[in-house]
Amino acid sequence: MTATGRVAAGPGVGGVAATGGGIAGDGPRARQVLPNIVERTSRGEYSMDPYSKLLKERIIFLGVQIDDVSANDVMAQLLFLESEDPDRDISIYINSPGGSFTSLTAIYDTMQFVRPDISTICMGQAASAAAVLLAAGTPGKRCTLENSRILIHQPSAQAQGQSSDLEIQAREILRVRALQEAMLARHTGRAEDEIRRDTERDTIFSAAEAKDYGLVDEVILSRKASASRRMSGVA
C-alpha cells in the first residue's frame, strides 16, 4: 500500500465499500494509443487492436484496477472463450493493483464456473484482489515472471450511517474477510489461521516467495526455459 492509501473501486453491501487496495493505489494513467495489428487472410486484410489479437489466442489481459467495468470485461471474455471451445485452456495475464472485493468475487466465481482450465500469469504485480485471482488459476498452471511481486492483505472497508447500520456493516466486513481467507487457504493449501495472520498487514512476496507460499506453481524466466524444464521433467 502506498501513501495514497487504499482506493475503493466499487460499491459494497449497504454502506460498506469493500476494496482490496494494492501496491499502486490509483488506476492506469493516460497512454499512447496502441497501433492496430493488420492481418492478411484469403478473405482480405483486416485490423484489430492488440487486446483483440490476444483474445483470439485465448489470452485475457487484466492490466487495470479491478472494478465493475473490468470485471464485466473479464467475465464476458471467459464466457465467450468457453463457448468457442470448452476444452482449450484460457490464459489470464495479470498486472493489477487490486480493487473491489465484489468485483473480485464476480471474476473468481466465473473462473470456477467455466469448463476450460485457466492459466494465470503475473507480469509486474498482482496485489490484493488480483493476488487471489492469480492463486485461483488451475493447479499446476499458475505462474509469475521473475521480477513480479505479489501482495496479500485483508479487504479494507468504509462504513457509514446510523449505529444500527454500522452493526450490520461490521458483520459484513467480517464475512468478507473470512471469505477471502477461505479462498486463499483453498488455493495455497495454507491453514485459514495462517492466512489470517499473514493478511493482518500487507505481506509482499517476491516471485520465489510466492511459489513457496503456494500462490503460484512456477516462476518463469522465459517461455523457452519453461518449455525446456517441462520436457526434462524438472519442476
pLDDT in tens, 148-174: 999 999 987 666 767 777 888 888 899
* Residues known to be catalytic: 128, 153
Identify the pLDDT of residue 233: 54
Check whether 44 has a pLDDT greater than 90.
Answer: no
**Average pLDDT of the segment spanning 207-227:** 90
- Contact status, residue 153 vs residue 6, Cβ threshold 8 Å: no
Considering only residues 169 and 39, tell me which one the structure prediction assigns the higher pLDDT: 169
Nearest to 122 by CA among 101, 103, 147, 102: 147
Q: Model pTM greater than 0.95? A: no
Instruction: List the single range of 8-17, 82-91, 221-230 with lowest mean pLDDT.
Output: 8-17
Q: What per-residue confidence (pLDDT) applies to 71?
A: 98
> Has domain 45-227 been given CATH number 3.30.300.30?
no
Angle of CA points 126, 127, 133, to nearest 5°: 60
- Band (pLDDT 50/70/90 cuts) for residue 46 is confident
- Judged against a pLDDT cut of 50, whether residue 200 lies above it is answered with yes
Q: Are 186 and 162 in contact (CB under 8 A)?
A: no
Q: Do residues 21 and 1 make contact, with C-beta atoms less than 8 angstroms apart? A: yes
Instruction: Please tell me which residue, 77 or 222, carries the higher pLDDT value.
Output: 77
Least confident of 102-106, 152-156, 198-202: 152-156
Q: Which of 49-53, 167-171, 215-219, 225-229 has the highest mean pLDDT?
A: 215-219
At residue 142 the predicted structure's pLDDT band, cuts being 50, 70 and 90, is very high
Give the percent of the chain with pLDDT over 90. 63
**How many residues are present in the chain?**
235
The alpha carbon torsion through 111, 117, 123, 129 (nearest 10 deg) reads: 20
Q: What is the pLDDT of residue 191?
A: 98
Q: How far apart are the first and last CA of the chain?
A: 32
